[in-house]
Amino acid sequence: MTAPPGGGPYDPGQQPNWGGQQGGPQPYPPGGPYGNPQPGTGPYGAGGYPYQQFPQSGQQPPPGWPPGPYSPGPPPKGPGSKTPWLIIAGIAVVGVILLVVIVVIGLNYNKSTPASPVGPGPSGLSSTTGPPTSQPKNSAQTATGCTPNVSGGDQPGGGTISAGELWFPVTAAPGWMVFADDVNPNLIDAVGVGQEVPGADQWMMQAEVAITNFVASMDLAEQASTLMQCVADGPGYAQSSPTLGPMTTSSVTIDGVRAARVDADITIGDAAARKVKGDSVTIIAVDTKPVTIFMAATPIGDADSAAVVDGVIEALRVAS
């Protein structure tokens, strides 16, 4: 599929040029933004700033002597002044109030925030409880056809990529980078891993999981095939004149759960410019509540990336 402008999450981006080279921001001229003042060039000429004679100790100031910035202020208050004690008492009262507020907030947080289980991940982080499950941001399954993307998923934790009850470990696709998919149609909480296709122009291969927004009455095979058509017509191929080839449908199981798989090639009209023919796309709809999907796209004829996707499919698990 087409990569986002600038390469999206896989493009480290241009680093800012702070050295003032090659068109970057230039440093201030010597002496700071106002230059380096020369002796005798101040606002008072060669003599510099006018000298103010201060009275000597024990002398009365001469008539007209101006009270400059160093003139003595009002005499300090005597030992009987209550001002410092009032200030200290006020600070103490404010401190007590802040302490009470912090304690109340902490108690409420502990009551309302349950601990989340940790899913399998890198060595030392494995758990038998499986990855965390969550309700989608928009849990309404009402679509019967193509709709825009509902939501990208949250950044995964614990080394797993998950949506609803479907998940796989990040290590199933070594070297691929995690991303949230807020582009492809009909997907809720979509998250996956991907990598730019070497030698291609703004093209990426990917593997992801998501919840569908199709109505619950829609058959699994119909959900998978409808999503395939929606993806081919969606934003990922919008600028490439896509053509969806014949679809192959099969019944499979994912971690013992019934599922439907659809495979098809999506060829593109700008293959010469993109330096890639298009994608081999796989969509698997899994009979979870709500229905979850696995979707992968790799360059047509790329055996290495197809092998990575096969490994991810083998690693798919359904949380119990």
DSSP string, 19-52: SS-TTSPPPPPTTSTT--PPTT-BTTBTT-SPP-
- 10 Å CB burial of residue 192 (0-12, 13-18, 19+) is buried
Number of domains into which the chain is organized: 1
Quote the pLDDT of residue 3: 65
Does residue 257 belong to any structural domain of this protein? yes
Determine contact, residues 293/285, Cβ cutoff 8 Å.
yes
238 vs 135, more confident:
238
**Sheet strands (E) in 219-308:** 242-244, 248-254, 257-268, 278-286, 292-299
Does residue 77 belong to any structural domain of this protein? no
Determine contact, residues 261/280, Cβ cutoff 8 Å.
no
Does residue 28 belong to any structural domain of this protein? no
- 10 Å CB burial of residue 61 (0-12, 13-18, 19+) is exposed
Bridge partners of residue 293, in order along the sequence: 210, 285
212 vs 115, more confident:
212
Q: How far apart are CA 320 and CA 318, in angstroms?
A: 6
Give the model confidence (pLDDT) of 106-123 as tens digits: 555 443 333 323 222 222
Q: How far apart are CA 264 and CA 280, in angstroms?
A: 6
Does residue 262 belong to any structural domain of this protein? yes
Does residue 151 belong to any structural domain of this protein? no
Highest mean pLDDT among 71-75, 113-117, 275-279: 275-279
Question: What single-letter amino acid sits at 17?
Answer: N
Predicted model pTM = 0.61
CATH number for 233: 3.40.1000.10
Q: Region 130-145: what's the mean pLDDT? A: 63
Sign of CA dihedral 16, 19, 20, 25: positive
pLDDT band (50, 70, 90) for residue 306: very high
39-53, 57-71, 253-267: range with lowest mean pLDDT: 39-53
Question: What single-letter amino acid sits at 99?
Answer: L
Q: How far apart are CA 316 and CA 138, in angstroms?
A: 24
Does residue 60 belong to any structural domain of this protein? no
Q: How far apart are CA 129 and CA 252, in angstroms?
A: 25
Does residue 130 belong to any structural domain of this protein? no
Determine contact, residues 227/282, Cβ cutoff 8 Å.
no
Quote the pLDDT of residue 157: 72
Which residue in this structure is represented by tokens 């949250």? 154
Strands 204-212 and 187-196: antiparallel
Query: End-to-end CA distance of the chain, in Å?
Result: 32
Q: How far apart are CA 185 and CA 152, in angstroms?
A: 11
Neighbours of 168 (CB within 10 A): 26
Q: Which residues contact 296 (CB under 8 A, 6 or more apart)?
A: 205, 206, 207, 208, 281, 282, 309, 312, 313
67 vs 259, more confident:
259
Does residue 294 belong to any structural domain of this protein? yes
Q: What are phi and psi of 57, to 5 degrees?
A: -60, 135
pLDDT of 305 > 70? The answer is yes
Domain that holds residue 207: 160-318
Q: Which token pair is 276?
A: 């890639």
Q: How far apart are CA 279 and CA 228, in angstroms?
A: 12
